[in-house]
Amino acid sequence: MPRTPQENERIRQLAKESILKAAMELFIKQGYHATSISDIAEQAGISKGLLYNYFKGKEELLATMVDARVGEMVEVMNQAKTIETPVEQLKHIIEGAIDNVYKKPEVFRFYLHLQTQPEADHELIKYSRFLIEENARQFEFQCEIFEKLGAKEARKRSLYFSSTLQGIMLMICTYPQQFPIQEIKKQIFDEFCNSLSF
């Protein structure tokens, strides 16, 4: 007697997830190039053949990861949009970004690594571009916040803000042990979330 289609679908979903989880772990730990399909299959506890049953190849695994990542980023932004005052929005963004990186610095590091892919690497540049585009969308949203805050040159101020926040995230993922996040949060709050600064 065959399994029901629902049961099969459930198995497929579980398998896809477990493969993707294995791939994410290894990509993040060792990097994309240093991870082979064999590694992933082994980590997921399945055969290489089965992996190809679920994903076209290594690149599709990365694509799926990046899609999920962008999905999370969008979700965080949408959450922020529901907040009432612009100051609170900004605080939420800052807290969210910093805590997120602080909790899993190697994850942020992985995507930053991907984002800084050279332009002429034809295999991977699309994922880099995709992440950069999403960052740009987030930047537009932050511009709106600065406008609401009444900043004189909202766009430039927002750019400076984004640079600072990105820089903090870069520093955290580079020196994860030693980063005093509370102190740094205080400084960025003081600079950008205090009405006196405009």
Partner DNA sequence: AATGAATGAGGTTTCATTCAT
Partner DNA sequence: AATGAATGAAACCTCATTCAT
Binding site for its own copies (CB under 8 A): 2, 27-31, 33-34, 47, 106, 109-110, 112-113, 115-124, 132, 135-136, 153, 156-157, 159-160, 162-168, 170-171, 173-175, 179-180, 183-184, 187-188, 191
Shortest Cβ 187–DNA spacing (Å): 43
Torsion over CA: 171, 175, 176, 181 (sign): negative
Q: How far does the chain reach from its first CA to its final CA, in angstroms?
A: 71
Q: Out of its own copies, DNA, none, which partner does residue 22 contact, by CB within 5 to 8 A per kind?
A: none
Rounded to a whole number of angstroms, the minimum distance from the CB of residue 126 to DNA is 15
Closer CB to DNA, 51 or 101, in the complex: 51
Look at residue 46 and give the partner it binds from its own copies, DNA, none, a contact being a CB closer than 5 to 8 Å depending on partner kind: DNA
Instruction: Find out whether 130 and 179 touch, Cβ atoms under 8 Å.
Output: no
Transcribe 143-158 into DSSP letters: HHHHHHTT-TTHHHHH
Using CB under 7 A, pick the residue from 21, 29, 52, 133 that binds DNA.
52
Find the shortest distance in angstroms from Cβ 51 to DNA. Answer: 7
Closest to its own copies by CB, 4 vs 118, is: 118
Please tell me whether residue 118 binds DNA under the rule CB under 7 A. no
Q: Does 103 bind DNA (CB under 7 A)?
A: no
Q: Quote the CA–CA distance of 11 and 9 in Å, as a whole number.
A: 5
When the beta carbons of 57 and 167 are compared against DNA, the nearer one is 57
Contact between 11 and DNA by CB under 7 A: the answer reads yes
Taking the C-alpha atoms of residue 152 and residue 50, their distance in angstroms, rounded to an integer, is 57
With CB under 5 to 8 Å by kind, the binding choice for 188 among DNA, its own copies, none is its own copies
How far apart CA 84 and CA 148 sit, in angstroms, is 11
Q: Is 25 exposed, middle or buried (0-12, 13-18, 19+ CB in 10 A)?
A: middle
Query: Which of the ranges 47-55, 85-93, 142-150, 175-183 carries the binding residues for DNA, by CB under 7 A?
Result: 47-55
Largest CA distance in the chain: 72
Phi and psi at 161, nearest 5°, equal: -60, -50
